[in-house]
Amino acid sequence: MSTHAELQVPSLGKVTVPVGIFINNEWSPSSFKETFATINPATGEKQLDFAHGSAADVDRAVKAARKAFKTTWGNNIAATERAAALNKLADLMERDSDKLAALESINSGKGVRIARDADVADSVACLRYYAGLADKFFGQTIPHFGKEKFVYTLHQPIGVCGQIIPWNYPLLMWAWKVAPALAAGCCVVMKPSELTPLTALVLCDLAKEAGIPAGVINTVPGLGATTGDAISRHMDIDKVAFTGSVVTGRRISIAAAESNLKKVTLELGGKSPMLVFDSADVEEAAAWTAMGIWFNSGQDCCASSRVYVQEGIYDKFLAALKKKAETVAIGQPHDEATSFGPLISAGQRDKVLGYIETGKKEGARVVTGGQKWPKSGGGFWIEPTILADTTLDMKVVQEEIFGPVIVAAKFKTEEEALELANTTSYGLAAAVFTNDARQATRITAALDAGTVWQNQYALLHAGVPFGGFKQSGIGRELGTYGLEAYTQVKAVHQNLTQTVEWPI
Amino acid sequence: MAPSYTHNFNHAGFKGKVEIPTGLFINNEWSTSKDSNAKTIDVVNPSTGESITAIPEGLPADVEVAIDAAHKAFNTTWGTNCPGFERGKYLIKIAELMERDLDILASIEALDNGKTYAVAKSFDVTESAAVFRYYGGWADKIHGKVIEQSAQKLAYTRHEPVGVCGQIIPWNFPLYMFSWKIAPALATGCCVVIKPSELTPLTALYMTKLFKEAGVPAGVVNVIVGYGPTVGNALATNPRVDKVAFTGSTPVGRKVMEAASKSNLKKVTLELGGKGANIIFDDADLNEAVKYAAQGIFFNHGQTCCAGSRLFVQRGIYDKFAEKFAHVAAQIKVGDPFDANTYQGPQVSQTQYDRIMNYVECGKQEGAKVLTGGNRHGKQGYFIEPTVFGDVTNNMKIVREEIFGPVIVMSAFDTEDEVIASANDTNYGLASGIFTSDLSRAHRVASHLKAGTVWVNCYNELHPQIPFGGFKESGIGRELGEYALENYMEVKAVQINLGKKCAIPVDL
């Protein structure tokens, strides 16, 4: 197979894109000569064939990464040089913003305007944030030892890191992984999702153009069970970072433990609750809730997929939310007006429809939506859906649906609201809507979630940490905390005057 | 029509016409003084003693206008109105423009200050851009702390920008000092009114073009060239200036602090003089020590606050060291800053030249031995031969006072305790050096030296990431590194009561 292919893209015309494996700044086909295909979520048609990386390809990538780590990256160059390379890559992403947005849109189904103004822009901001942090991650000097010894810590890059990213934000998840890893001095072996490998591969060429040395970023497309597993089990990968489902996260964690006990960080699923109190502005709460559940068509780990409304305003809130559902900008990805596109695949679409049916059977009331979008054609749209009057024991309340379906219920007291919110194995995000400042602070302290939004939802920033309590994950990404995942602490004891008595 | 000066450069490193706006830069516009009494300031080429150009003088009335502009910007387009990552982007953009105009800025600096073009390019301009880049990365990472979280209370700190800052910088590293002041101030959200030295204003004035090109909002940076007693004093005394930062001599630093105290007790940070002790132990790598000792004093023609201007050499290697050192000093090539072979250009002005030569005379009279140098170099411009005095004692003027020229004093010592005492026997405390191959000794001596920087087996190493500043009369506060941000921040503690009732014993 060739390492490149042609793709017809609205607004770009015919584009040549990479579909091979990127190791040591060079393209190659899979050692198996095997491929896998991607589907256009807006049409259901086959899009491209990509190289399916084998364990041997992963091994080759690891060797390239290890070599770079020992010679041209890591602490072999100054942190300011790593920073300059990341900034240069950010510049190139900005230069190619329209192209990247169009490719992201056609591969993932996102509206092209959103891909450009959110996904590409936020990815660039993430790279620039970590470029600025690279030379500012200090160790400590620990001065308690007087004349006896000089003690300090070094924050050293972990080494070769495997990174496995999902299909819901292909470009942004790439930036969240690559930026801190490279800033810290690590080299990566990246497996993009087999549903959306396109932009990750295009970025490899930009990385090369930015002057990032060969072997620092290696990309091996493939499937989880094969390529992903090879990464999780590789004996010379020092750390694996994964974003995706709890089920897969568990598998990766087990594989890491069974192989070389490599460090593991996980960003997994969520079933994040919104708590809307009587004092809240109902229109404002409905607007943010709509953003929280229908942005990216609900395919977001921190989607506000449960909403609990104080009984006094329950009906008013549902009416307001229904209006938002009915005025969502649903449409074709290439249309600039679209901000609600199809789900990523037939499988996901059917899974969501399955949950809606289950919800109905369990007694939930469909306030709006609940079906395929009539204009779907061959694509995978589902209408924004509200399931009301749900109870804690329902499947649709406990399990992550990962689609544009929100479950709603009412509550009386603050204690009841917290109980409902926290009765879940997840803990990624949550929100409280209230005009009572003390209540907001109190509730925030009590919610078991890694991010709590007060009177808003969904907004993330490169400088603010993000990650899960409970089964939503291990570790934090973004912010200065995000650098910790890619460094290890070495304590140095420098003896100045201590002696050892013998026998002790 | 904004005043400007165009210079035609024609040297091996750069050929071309460069236009430098020379007006007062206030609110993103260049103008002459509001005050009809304002004259012009003559900018002199220290290599020739001849005038380069005359530029408009700024006066206190102009400082008032600049402070207005700075406050307006602070309350509308800058300060907390501009998110950190946006401020960071401006700073990075400025760095990129400086890198683009590397040869131009280096040429201007060499012409105006007399440092060699080669060093201006590889050090001054390059490192200044690096400082802007460094603080560009800090702008969105200025974190407070969350200190208490309980059912009773949430307590956290905000690190807020101080406000409008007056900055007064010297002539020895005009552009570099400009970057040390402006970058952290802008990163934290402050607005500045900066007075470059009237001796070396040209690179700061060129930078005003780059600020405008980068799109920095009007009023955020204001540049006024004027004299210390007028413009400098106006900044130090003005009640609407929230903080003053000064780099220069200790006597003037004292005046700035007095003025600040007498007016509105504005915050003060000072980077003042030094008389750096460079200590060479007998187990040092001799040749490296000799080279670093020479660089330590002759870099920037000795016009460095952190210069290693007092050399202490352990007796066992003294004679050998002295011989090698004199030999190396005599190899230092003094001459035209634009000649690629030159290491040492002229001193910055006639006044400085006279002061240094005065000290040299003094040294001779006090009985110190001239091992090499001690005379003027050439007949035109302010060039002085690299000068080494031996057999000095701790009470000599040339040992106690900062000379700020290519003049070093050298003496022998026997023990570690003795040299630590000698090194610390000074009112200054800026920088010092230790040369030894004994790791324990390096750490031990470093812990005893009263100096803000201790260089071990090196000298004059400055990096944006590493703090710099003085103990004792060498200064107050630290620049560079994360520490510089503190100079431009106020810490506000916010304590939110979550459930506590007031305990005052009254009935209601």
Q: Residue-wise pLDDT tens for chain B (508 aa)?
A: 689 999 999 999 999 999 999 999 999 999 999 999 999 999 999 999 999 999 999 999 999 999 999 999 999 999 999 999 999 999 999 999 999 999 999 999 999 999 999 999 999 999 999 999 999 999 999 999 999 778 788 899 999 999 999 999 999 999 999 999 999 999 999 999 999 999 999 999 999 999 999 999 999 999 999 999 999 999 999 999 999 999 999 999 999 999 999 999 999 999 999 999 999 999 999 999 999 999 999 999 999 999 999 999 999 999 999 999 999 999 999 999 999 999 999 999 999 999 999 999 999 999 999 999 999 999 999 999 999 999 899 999 999 999 999 999 999 999 999 999 999 999 999 999 999 999 999 999 999 999 999 999 999 999 999 999 999 999 999 999 999 999 999 999 999 888 888 999 999 8
How many Cβ atoms sit within 10 Å of the Cβ of residue B343?
18
Q: Where are the domains of chain A?
A: 57-268+470-489, 273-454
Q: Cα–Cα distances in Å, from A279 out to A61, A282, A316, A396, A435?
A: 56, 9, 13, 28, 5
- The pLDDT value recorded for residue B449 is 97
Please tell me the distance in Å from A438's CA to the nearest CA on chain B.
Answer: 6
| Edge-to-edge strand list for the sheet holding B407-413 | B369-372, B387-390, B407-413, B310-314, B277-280, B431-435, B453-456
Could you give the angle at the alpha carbon of A245 between the alpha carbons of A239 and A247, nearest 5°?
A: 90
Taking alpha carbons only, the member of B280, B230, B223 closest to residue B61 is B230
Taking alpha carbons only, the member of A248, A139, A233, A113 closest to residue A491 is A139
Q: What is the mean pLDDT of residues A88-112?
A: 98
Residue to test with chain B: of A496, A497, A499, most B Cβ within 10 A:
A496
Mean pLDDT rounded to a whole number for chain A: 96
Rounded CA-CA distance A459/A118 in Å is: 11
- The pLDDT value recorded for residue B497 is 87
Q: Does B482 touch chain A (CB under 8 A)?
A: yes
Q: Does B498 touch chain A (CB under 8 A)?
A: yes
CATH 3.40.605.10 placement within chain B: 4-272+470-492
- pLDDT tens for residues A310-362? 999 999 999 999 999 999 999 999 999 999 999 999 999 999 999 999 999 99
Q: What is the mean pLDDT of residues A271-292?
A: 97
B149–A445 CB contact, under 8 Å: yes
* Chain A partners within 8 Å of B440 (Cβ): 496-497
Here the tokens at position A275 are 């708590």
- The pLDDT value recorded for residue A147 is 84
**Taking the mean position of all CA atoms in its chain, how far away is CA B395?**
28
Confidence bin at A19 (pLDDT 50/70/90):
very high
Confidence bin at A146 (pLDDT 50/70/90):
confident
Residue to test with chain A: of B133, B148, B444, B461, most A Cβ within 10 A:
B133
Please tell me the distance in Å from A92's CA to the nearest CA on chain B.
Answer: 15
Cβ neighbors of B10 (< 8 A, separation 6 or more) are none
How many Cβ atoms sit within 10 Å of the Cβ of residue B379?
6
Residue B475 phi, psi (nearest 5): 150, 175
Q: Does B50 touch chain A (CB under 8 A)?
A: no
A136–B482 CB contact, under 8 Å: yes
The share of chain A scoring above pLDDT 70, in percent, equals: 100
- Domain A273-454: state its class: alpha beta
- pLDDT tens for residues B114-144? 999 999 999 999 999 999 999 999 999 999 9
Residue to test with chain B: of A86, A123, A150, most B Cβ within 10 A:
A150
- The pLDDT value recorded for residue B500 is 87
- Chain A neighbours among B 99-138 (CB < 8 Å)? 130, 133-134, 136-138
**Taking the mean position of all CA atoms in its chain, how far away is CA B93?**
22
Using CB atoms, pick whichever of A87, A442, A445 lies closest to residue B92: A87
Residue of chain B with shortest Cα separation from A151: B443
Please tell me the distance in Å from B498's CA to the nearest CA on chain A.
Answer: 6
Considering Cα of B259, then B261, then B267, then B272, what sign does the dihedral take?
positive
Residue A1 clears pLDDT 80, i.e. is over it? no
* Chain A partners within 8 Å of B462 (Cβ): none
Interface of A with B (CB under 8 A): 80, 83, 87, 125, 128-129, 131-136, 138, 147, 150, 437-438, 441-442, 445, 462-463, 480, 494, 496-497
Rounded CA-CA distance B227/B505 in Å is: 61
Please tell me the distance in Å from B454's CA to the nearest CA on chain A.
Answer: 15
Query: Which 3 state secondary structure label does DSSP give A410?
Result: strand
Residue to test with chain B: of A82, A87, A436, A498, most B Cβ within 10 A:
A87
Domain formed by B4-272+470-492, architecture: 3-Layer(aba) Sandwich (3.40)
- How many residue pairs from chains A and B have C-beta atoms closer than 8 A? 64
Rounded CA-CA distance B221/A493 in Å is: 46
Rounded CA-CA distance A177/A186 in Å is: 11
| Catalytic residue of the set B190, B191, B305, B306 | B305
Q: Does B37 touch chain A (CB under 8 A)?
A: no
- pLDDT tens for residues A228-246? 999 999 999 999 999 999 9
Please tell me the distance in Å from B25's CA to the nearest CA on chain A.
Answer: 29
* Chain B partners within 8 Å of A147 (Cβ): 444, 447
* Chain B partners within 8 Å of A442 (Cβ): 151, 498-499
Please tell me the distance in Å from B51's CA to the nearest CA on chain A.
Answer: 40
B137–A131 CB contact, under 8 Å: yes
A131–B134 CB contact, under 8 Å: no
In CATH, the number for domain B277-456 is 3.40.309.10
A136–B138 CB contact, under 8 Å: yes
Rounded CA-CA distance A368/A388 in Å is: 10
CATH 3.40.309.10 placement within chain B: 277-456
Please tell me the distance in Å from A450's CA to the nearest CA on chain B.
Answer: 16
How many Cβ atoms sit within 10 Å of the Cβ of residue B455?
21
pTM of the model: 0.91
* Chain B partners within 8 Å of A125 (Cβ): 85
- The answer to whether B502 is a known catalytic residue is no
- The answer to whether B271 is a known catalytic residue is yes
Domain A57-268+470-489 has CATH 3.40.605.10: yes
Q: Cα–Cα distances in Å, from B367 out to A178, B155, B315, B390, B398?
A: 65, 64, 20, 10, 11
Residue of chain B with shortest Cα separation from A129: B137
- The pLDDT value recorded for residue B469 is 97
Using CB atoms, pick whichever of B89, B141, B499 lies closest to residue A480: B141
- The pLDDT value recorded for residue B137 is 97
| Catalytic residue of the set A26, A81, A94, A267 | A267
- The pLDDT value recorded for residue B151 is 79
Considering Cα of B396, then B399, then B400, then B402, what sign does the dihedral take?
positive
